[in-house]
Homo-oligomer: A and B are copies of this chain.
Amino acid sequence: MYLHLIFLVIPFHFLYNVLSRRGADSMALYNEIADVIEKRIIDSVYQGGCTLPDHETLAKEFKTSRPTIKKAIDLLSSKGLVTSNRGKGTYVLKIDHADIQRAFPVGMQSGLSFLYDESRIENKIIKFDIHFPDEKIQRKLQIARHEAVYEIIRFRKIDGEPAVIEHTFMPIKQMPNLSKRNVSGSIYDYLMKELKLEFAGALRTIHAVIPGEYDKEFLKNEAGDPLLEIEQIVFLTDGSPVEYSKTRHRNDYTIYDTKFYHR
């Protein structure tokens, strides 16, 4: 009888965790729940302009706690799918599904290697150099003037069509043996798979620019056709900058790169 009582006292969440252990590679519960709710929104189970079920109800349905449901909904809110109002409920945004944003992958510069199959991309190296950084590069990469950097200019085509020009500075200390060969494919493939570097994020600034000589020569840019330039600093998970670059895009290839939801 005594043992029986003790057994009943084991908390439910312990049993839950043991029975349906979240594996190493599996997503967090709040992530899975967010995905399910997102699918329901896309399938119009929850329709634009209507409210989601309240936290309590969702918590019961997914057999979890309110804070976990809250976190899932916060994710959807940051993606621009729903908006929460204290006292009123969480509304689904009315938006054409074709307009729902696509993520811009971190640390992939133009993101070409992410958006297109490797075989469709063609790289041409215009410059590959090592030298000491000027003041601006020192500041952007937070390095001293005696710490050398690679300077790389690459020109990339998609399906034979001119797409982007990248102008990149990277400190040599994090990748002492970078070669022209590494650079001829996806630099980030090399940095991630070979050097096992891990990326924290990227700070990006976007502007329109007047085509210069390189642009006209390589992008086959019509005179007066504007280019979109993305300037970025990419950071590693230890907080240090690993790249400062400017990437010039022909306008028709940039649409997926520049969609954001702002709260």
Contacts and interface: CB of A to CB of B under 8 A. Distances in A.
Contacts of A201: 80, 83, 261-263
Given A227-B226, A235-B83, A255 B95 contact: no
14 contacts: A48-B142, A48-B239, A80-B201, A85-B238, A91-B200, A94-B240, A95-B235, A96-B142, A99-B203, A204-B259, A207-B228, A207-B251, A208-B208, A224-B224
Interface in A221-263: 223-228, 233, 235, 237-241, 251, 254-255, 258-263
A49 B239 contact: yes
A54 to B, nearest CB: 16
A96 B209 CA distance: 24
Interface residues of A, number: 55
B200 A235 contact: no
Given A205-B258, A206-B258, A224-B224, A200 B263 contact: yes
Contact of A94 (B92, B223, B224, B239): B239
Nearest to A143: B94
A93 B241 CA distance: 8
Nearest to A141: B94
Nearest to A136: B96
Contacts of A142: 48, 94-96
A72 to B, nearest CB: 15
Interface of A: 48-50, 80, 82-83, 85, 88, 91-96, 98-99, 101, 104, 106, 139-140, 142, 200-210, 223-228, 233, 235, 237-241, 251, 254-255, 258-263
B139 A262 contact: no
Given A99-B233, A140-B99, A262-B104, A239 B93 contact: yes
Given A49-B240, A251-B207, A139 B92 contact: no
A208 to B, nearest CB: 4
Contacts of A260: 203-204, 206, 260
Given A48-B239, A85-B237, A93-B235, A226 B210 contact: yes
A259 B258 CA distance: 11
B140 A254 contact: no
